Amino acid sequence: MKRIDSIIRPQNLDEVKVRLTAIGVQALTVAEVRGFGRQKGHTEVCRGTEYAVDFVPKIMLTIIATDDRVTAIVDAIVAGARTGKMGDGKIFVSPIDEVVRIRTGETGDSAV
């Protein structure tokens, strides 16, 4: 099993969700996060005063998937989130040792 974490632009969430549900992803976790990468933030003007925004708002999606589904999920996220501009985000894939469904006590692939 794998954990897929992706950091994307907030405006791309709906398109990514549509693509993920189209390939059969039934569960995902979404969190509003802030951070910076190569973008290094940006500047905004409020009431005539310019100020720096060091942390850019992003969305983090977390999906737990069986090994055979990872490529399709990553491809769907990339297709839905890519604008071709700096700040499109990142995807991280990590191994998962164990999953337990609390309600039933199921473990492993059946708990996903």
| pLDDT tens, residue by residue, 12-50 | 999 999 999 999 999 999 999 988 777 666 666 777 777
CB-count exposure of residue 4 (10 Å: 0-12, 13-18, 19+) = buried
Task: Write down the pLDDT at residue 109.
Answer: 87
Counting every residue written for the chain, the total comes to 112
Task: Write down the pLDDT at residue 44.
Answer: 64
pTM here is 0.85
Give me the residue spans of the domains in the chain: 2-111
- Judging by DSSP bridges, how do beta strands 89-95 and 42-46 pair with one another? unpaired
Task: Write down the pLDDT at residue 78.
Answer: 98
Assigned fold of 2-111: Alpha-Beta Plaits (3.30.70)
Question: Could you tell me what percent of the chain has a pLDDT over 90?
Answer: 71
